[in-house]
Amino acid sequence: VRARLRVKTERGARAYHKIWNTIAIIRGARWPDEWVVVGGHRDAWGPGARDNVSGTVAVLETARAFAVLAQSGLRPARTLLFATWDAEEWGLIGSTEWVEELEDSLAAHAVAYINEDGTFSGPTFTGGASPALKPLIRDAARVVPDPTGPGSVYDVWLRRNKGDTAALTLGNLGGGSDFAGFYHHLGIPSGGIGFDGPDGIYHSMYDSYDWMSRFGDPGYAAHRAGAQLVSVILGRLANADILPLDYAAFGSEMSALVAQLDSGLARKPWTVSTQGLKDALDRFTGVARVFNTARDGAAGIDSARAARVNRALMQVERRLTRPEGLVSRPWYRSLQFASDLDNGYATMAFPTVNEAIRYADAATVEREIADLIA
């Protein structure tokens, strides 16, 4: 077979294109200076029914639901921001420019970011988030009907895993989507949910309305459940007296992930120990459990005290960033997770240490472990 390929390149002034983000805001009634942000990218390589019309319509439907409530006098306690991003497929440009431009405001006001990207194309519930948001996502799954049923999303998820609650895992955030600016650059807790299935249409002309209607999500039941889940997650983040960020769950998961460092170190002829990091995480998790108990037992907390507590909660993952960033990538400031340096989609925990182990730099491993402990 002889194939002809025509290539068109854009250089100089022709290579510049205007892009647009859209931002809608519902101002909070009780804590307007605390922001919950939800977004999804609007651009696509082809028709983009899955990636990312499905995520965009979840954002729009969630916005519509909260707008109806606001028009009836039920405004959220915190401010909600609904975003559609442009130029995600060209390197997360729309969301990254917005985050960098509003860095100081987001660092001061953002509670969490929920990202919906290529999310609804099958019956199987999935998700990924900061470990601090995972209990909230699991709880939200208990109150939304599953698109295949019977029962809630949680019920079907549990049956699929033969009743093993320990198997109800959610992923950690690596790279490849618009959470990066919020999570990896600024340390804002982030997450997202979806319903997946086999597709084979990624970034192709076949990612179309016809494919979605016939194969991906006939009847659009997964789209409906996804928008409901996003709405419940946003509602709980927006209206809880004390933010539903679970740092006991965060500490437990990060403690378990130290095993990855131990595995890498075992293959090196070094005497580097992670015990200090384990001890620090144990202290962190213990304090978080005491806090959770106090939060669960609190009743009728006044707005001023709640605001003080929430400001402290909002700083936890900010403080796991550093201004100079990772050794390999200064823009990535978070020390908890990053995209894998050798695979932009994959997740790497404790990236400063894991990268140093990978590239056999014992001095950097010891320095970075000490930094994490601090």
Catalytic residues: 88
Tell me which amino acid residue 225 is: A
Strands 78-85 and 31-41: parallel
Residues in a beta bridge with 41: 85
Q: Which two tokens stand for residue 373?
A: 């402990």
355: left (phi over 0), alpha (psi -120 to 50) or beta: alpha
Buried b (16+ CB within 10 A) or exposed e, 179-200: bbbbbbbbbbbbbbbbbbeebe
Residue 148 CB neighbours (<10 A): 16
Q: Which two tokens stand for residue 67?
A: 């707008």
Cβ neighbours of residue 216 under 8 Å, at least 6 residues apart? 49, 50, 120, 121, 122, 197, 199
Q: Which two tokens stand for residue 343?
A: 């695979």
Helix (H) or strand (E) holding 334: none
CA distances, 258 to each of 189, 298, 321, 349 (Å): 20, 33, 18, 9
Buried b (16+ CB within 10 A) or exposed e, 294-328: ebeeeeeeeeeebeebbeebbebbbebbeeebbbe
Contact by Cβ (8 Å): 81, 37: yes
* Residue from 176, 48, 52, 172 nearest 116 by CA: 52
DSSP code per residue over 310-325: HHHHHHTTGGGB-TT-
Terminal Cα-to-Cα distance of the chain (whole angstroms): 62
